Chains A and B, each alone.
Chain A
Amino acid sequence: GESVGLHLPTLSVQEGDNSIINCAYSNSASDYFIWYKQESGKGPQFIIDIRSNMDKRQGQRVTVLLNKTVKHLSLQIAATQPGDSAVYFCAEKGTGANSKLTFGKGITLSVRP
């Protein structure tokens, strides 16, 4: 069936370096994508989203890239900080008002001081 998955289960980066978290999706009909950050014991927190008519979107210290040709989504975090340590999920949503959000498996980002 359709699924959203992540390439790596964990990512360890040095404080101050840039982080890149990758996500592959298989539903070519998906038209909306979101990255969430989940800290321990809390619910997912919205980071940034992108629609399928775009290939790049920037926020504060974060950039999301969408490559529809290879069905790939990535989250780039500039100057990674200890507070960025969390589990990151990509999520995709298909077309239609009743389409559901499907989450990827999650990747743990660990920032080394």
Chain B
Amino acid sequence: GAVVSQHPSWVICKSGTSVKIECRSLDFQATTMFWYRQFPKQSLMLMATSNEGSKATYEQGVEKDKFLINHASLTLSTLTVTSAHPEDSSFYICSARLAGVSNQPQHFGDGTRLSIL
């Protein structure tokens, strides 16, 4: 149980392109989903917390107009990297937590490798 699916797994695109990444909780409902960014050989850095039906909460230093988050249902959150540039190249990982339950582990998708040329 508690499977999180992320799509696509790998994206290569030209500079200036906008890229959408989907995160789905397959067998549970998630009122809260999280988006992380991970550079090579580094830890996961939280970018934003996505709440179903409301605006996302962004961490300090993360541009909300650059990284658009939509969480329209209890099983789907999307992250759109707008006008992506080479410095946006990274490994983006989403995570979801079971709705209404505190102190439960977050379950992670398998990440999206984004490469901007």
Is B44 an interface residue when CB atoms closer than 8 A count as contact?
yes
Is A25 an interface residue when CB atoms closer than 8 A count as contact?
no
Within 60-113 of B, Cβ neighbours of A (below 8 Å) are at 93, 95, 102-103, 105-111, 113
**Count of chain B residues near A, Cβ 8 A:** 22
Q: Binary interface profile of A, 49-80, with partner B (CB < 8 Å = 1, else 0)?
A: 10100000000000000000000000000000
Q: Are A31 and B103 in contact (CB under 8 A)?
A: yes
Interface size grouping (class) on chain A: 20 to 34
* Selected contact of B102 from candidates A41, A97, A105, CB within 8 Å: A97
Q: Are A49 and B110 in contact (CB under 8 A)?
A: no
Residues of B near any A CB (own CB < 8 A): 2, 4, 6, 34, 41-44, 46, 49, 93, 95, 102-103, 105-111, 113
